[in-house]
């Protein structure tokens, strides 16, 4: 079977899938697109993803996956001995699913309202209001995750999972004024990880 192939670009949400593949210690090919986040991908990319979005992951059987949270859940299930997530059927796995979907639906979606504001209103005079609502919604959702880090330092306790890598990435994109000390500690743990840290720095520097 072929290795995984990840279509990605530096500084994008594909970072967390790249990190997950590295954590899984599995073979993968990285196809880095020569464009910056928040800009449209070329029309030709529709052959890989109808929304022209990264991350897009080609699985070893040649099929395609998109949607960051779905990819992370799948990789954790495919590599159960690598610590990407808890064992299915456990209470911890239920929380893993709960918070990864919560982060995807509420934090990531709110973040996207700033660079892609035109997707969320047909009123050209309403763009700034959408951006302001985006920041408020990010803060509200991150506050829920902040409260869930108990006892910490990670969302599921002492062990880091791809959920934490995902949330750390989303926290980096937050542009509001609310402080999240527990999430800051979680993010520091992700950045200090021997496997994830170098990938983080290539995508986000010291942010």
Sequence ranges of the domains in the chain: 4-78, 91-194
What is the average pLDDT across 164-184? 97
Q: Strand, helix or coil at 83?
A: coil
For residue 68, give Cα distances in angstroms to 83, 128, 167.
Answer: 18, 27, 12
What is the average pLDDT across 182-191? 98
Q: What is the mean pLDDT of the chain?
A: 96
Counting DSSP H helices and E strands in the chain, the numbers are 8, 4
For 192, other C-beta atoms within 10 Å of its C-beta total 11
State whether CATH 1.20.1050.10 applies to domain 91-194.
Answer: yes
For residue 40, the model assigns a pLDDT of: 81
Band of pLDDT at residue 2, cut at 50, 70 and 90? confident
Superfamily name with CATH number, domain 4-78 = Glutaredoxin (3.40.30.10)
Q: In the predicted model, is pLDDT for residue 37 greater than 90? A: no
- Please tell me whether the overall predicted TM-score, pTM, comes out greater than 0.85 for this model: yes
């Amino acid at each position: 079977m072929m290795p995984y192939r990840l279509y990605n670009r530096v500084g994008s949400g594909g970072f967390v899938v790249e990190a997950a593949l590295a954590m899984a210690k599995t073979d993968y090919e990285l196809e880095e697109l020569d464009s910056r986040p928040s800009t449209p991908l070329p029309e030709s990319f529709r052959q890989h993803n109808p929304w022209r979005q990264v991350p897009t992951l080609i699985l070893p059987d040649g099929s395609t996956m998109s949607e960051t949270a779905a990819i992370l859940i799948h990789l954790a299930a495919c590599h159960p001995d690598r610590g990407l997530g808890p064992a299915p059927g456990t209470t911890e796995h239920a929380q893993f699913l709960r918070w990864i979907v919560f982060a995807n639906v509420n934090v990531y979606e709110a973040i996207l309202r700033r660079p892609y504001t035109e997707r969320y209103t047909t009123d050209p005079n309403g763009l700034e209001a959408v951006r302001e609502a985006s920041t408020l919604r990010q803060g509200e959702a991150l506050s829920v995750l902040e409260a869930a880090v108990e006892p910490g330092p990670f969302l599921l306790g002492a062990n880091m999972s791809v959920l934490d890598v995902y949330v750390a990435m989303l926290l980096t994109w937050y542009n509001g004024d609310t402080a999240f000390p527990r999430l800051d500690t979680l993010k520091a743990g992700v950045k200090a990880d021997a496997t994830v840290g170098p990938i983080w720095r290539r995508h986000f520097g010291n942010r």
